């Protein structure tokens, strides 16, 4: 077979005839398919880091928005995320798509070549492809008062010890969470660091006292 009929040459020739604006689309940029693994009652998002590399956003911001949207607990462990409940791929994809639409895609040209900037007190998406800017418009959902707090491992919290448990641990409450703090007396106001989260139960250790 001659070089002129070689598959690679034919493919390259066909691609060269595609208008440039049509080449810059889903073929060039697509969010990877979410890869999940289930371990008991937990869900592991295995390729979280790869997806963050693709959408070029702060992993802490992305995960925080998704957790708040789902009302779920979870934490980043390296380049993966562990949710403290069973999350379906379809549900997670829905929330990730909402994030990409809200915080990544340009409203003018529809391209993902954007970055977030602050103008006054407004968060703005600035497009590197067409130069357009638009304010971030978060989809209406729960109000701040109605939104549920999500506590993750590594969080630092200010808590008031309301009681003492049977094992002598101090007990505090934040919304639905019961927080155990070893070695702290009833009535103390302390800052803790979260060591473990299991459903609505939290274990933390004191890292400082709050002023009375």
Answer whether residue 19 is part of any domain.
no
Q: Are residues 126 and 53 in the same domain?
A: yes
Residue 35 · residue 46 · CB < 8 Å: yes
Domain assignment of residue 72, yes or no: yes
Q: What pLDDT, in 10s, does the model give residues 117-133?
A: 988 888 899 999 888 88
Question: What's the confidence (pLDDT) of residue 150?
Answer: 75
Q: Are strands 80-83 and 42-45 parallel, antiparallel or unpaired?
A: antiparallel
Which pLDDT score, from 0 to 100, does residue 142 have? 38
Q: Are 116 and 184 members of one domain?
A: no
Query: Is the sign of the CA dihedral 22, 25, 29, 35 positive or negative?
Result: negative
Q: What is the pLDDT of residues 92-115, one digit of tens each?
A: 999 999 999 999 998 888 889 999
Q: The domain that contains 95 carries what CATH number?
A: 3.30.30.170
Radius of gyration of the chain (CA): 23
Note whether residue 5 is domain-resident. no
From the CB of residue 210, how many other CB atoms can be counted at a distance below 10 Å?
11
Same structural domain, 121 and 197: no
List the domain range (segments joined by +) for residue 199. Answer: 156-209
> What pLDDT, on a 0 to 100 scale, did the predictor assign at position 209?
64
pLDDT in the model for residue 15: 47
Reduced DSSP (H G I as helix, E B as strand, rest coil) percent helix, strand, coil of the chain, to 5: 25, 30, 45
- HSE (side-chain half, CA atoms, 13 Å) at 194: 24
Q: Which of 80, 105, 135 is the endpoint of a domain?
A: 135
- Give me the pLDDT at residue 18, please: 45
Query: Is 9 a domain residue?
Result: no
pLDDT beneath 70: ranges in the chain: 1-28, 139-149, 209-212
- pLDDT of 148 reads 52
pLDDT of residue 8: 55
Residues 162 and 94 placed together within one structural domain of the fold: no
Q: What is the pLDDT of residue 175?
A: 75
Q: How many residues are listed for the chain in this entry?
A: 212
Report the pLDDT value the prediction gives residue 98, as an integer from 0 to 100.
92
Same domain, 37 and 127: yes
CATH code: domain of residue 184: 2.40.50.140
The total number of structural domains in the chain stands at: 2
């Amino acid at each position: 077979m001659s070089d002129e009929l070689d598959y690679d040459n034919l493919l390259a020739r066909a691609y060269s005839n595609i208008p440039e604006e049509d080449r810059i689309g889903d073929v060039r940029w697509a969010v990877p398919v979410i890869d999940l693994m289930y371990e008991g009652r937990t869900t592991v998002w295995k390729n979280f880091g790869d997806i963050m590399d693709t959408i070029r956003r702060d992993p802490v911001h992305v995960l925080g928005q998704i957790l708040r949207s789902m009302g779920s607990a979870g934490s980043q462990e390296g380049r993966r995320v562990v949710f403290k409940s069973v999350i379906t791929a379809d549900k997670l994809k829905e929330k990730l798509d909402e994030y990409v639409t809200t915080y990544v895609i340009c409203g003018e040209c529809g391209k993902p070549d954007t970055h977030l900037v602050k103008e006054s007190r407004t968060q703005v998406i600035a497009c590197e492809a067409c130069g357009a800017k638009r304010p971030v418009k978060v989809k209406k959902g729960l109000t701040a008062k109605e939104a549920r707090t999500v506590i993750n491992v590594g969080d630092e919290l200010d808590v008031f010890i309301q009681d003492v448990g049977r094992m002598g641990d101090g007990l505090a409450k934040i919304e639905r969470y019961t927080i155990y703090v070893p070695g702290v007396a009833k009535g103390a106001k302390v800052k803790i660091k979260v060591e473990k989260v299991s459903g609505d139960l939290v274990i933390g250790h004191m890292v400082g006292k709050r002023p009375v």
